[in-house]
Amino acid sequence: MSEEHTFESRGSSSWQLPAIIVLGLIAIGGLAFGWNASSKLDSTQQAVATQLKTTQQSVQQDMSSLKDRLAQDEKANADLQGDLKVVTGKLKITQGQLKKAREEASKLNDATSQKLTALDTSVHSELATKATNDDVKTVDTKVVGVKTDLDATREDLKMARSEMGTLIARNHDEIDQLRRLGERDYVEFIVTGKNKPQKVGNVTVELKGVNEKRNQFSLAMTVEDKRFEKKNRALNEPIFFYTSGTHIPEEIVINKTAKDTISGYVSIPKANSQVAASTTKSGK
């Protein structure tokens, strides 16, 4: 009995020890694997956190850049809207001036046609009252001469027009041509020296400066106690202004500049002169 018990004890001890060793190795391997996995997980978490932080910073920078662009776009849009309003306003003014110019041009053509019709009527009346061949020849000669003068005048009047439809004279000869139309009064003038007001027609002109290289000038005008300046204006560029009670603008045109000297004319519509005369009489 004792021998069998001893044999069983030795047999069980012989297989338990290797089993314990194997289990120990497995446990150690499991611990090593777990520690390695834990280390990799920590490293992965740190990498993910770093990448996430970098991504957040990049997104914040992109958001800041987008906000700046949005602000710039809003400002540009506001500026464009302001420019659009200004252009729209100027376009309305230009359209109004163009309409007035067309109306005045139409009136000018109507006036010329009326004069020609009146002349033709007068010539026929004169032909009817004169019976001799000599008188008829004389009248025919007059008709031919008048038509020739009208044709020449029309050719001479092929000069520039302002945006208000008025003809712009560039020299004394063209001013005389415009005088023959009888629709406006023309007052020629020369201003010498700066800051020396000079009365021209119903306006006071004061030279402020001349840019001879660019053919530009600056002047101050006083109309009915109201003073305003016109800077860096070009030659033959009309400056329009209105007087009280009138609807047709007057204009001042500078044809020539020199050192501290300008010369040109003031154009006053006949209608404005009549209004001014009636206003003076009523004031008395």
Residues 7 and 66: their CA atoms lie apart, in Å, by 87
Residues 197-232 pLDDT 10s: 999 999 999 999 999 999 999 999 999 999 999 999
128-168, pLDDT tens digit by residue?
Answer: 665 455 555 554 565 555 555 555 554 555 677 877 778 89
Listed in sequence order, the residues at least 6 apart from 142 whose beta carbon sits closer than 8 Å to its beta carbon are 123
- pLDDT, average across residues 264-272: 88
Tokens of 231: 């800077």
CB-CB neighbours of 162 under 10 Å: 20
Q: Report the DSSP pairing between strands 239-241 and 250-258.
A: antiparallel
Query: What 3-state class would DSSP assign to 223?
Result: strand
Residue closest to 208 by CA, chosen among 232, 225, 226 = 232
Computed on alpha carbons and rounded to an integer, the radius of gyration of the chain in Å comes to: 50
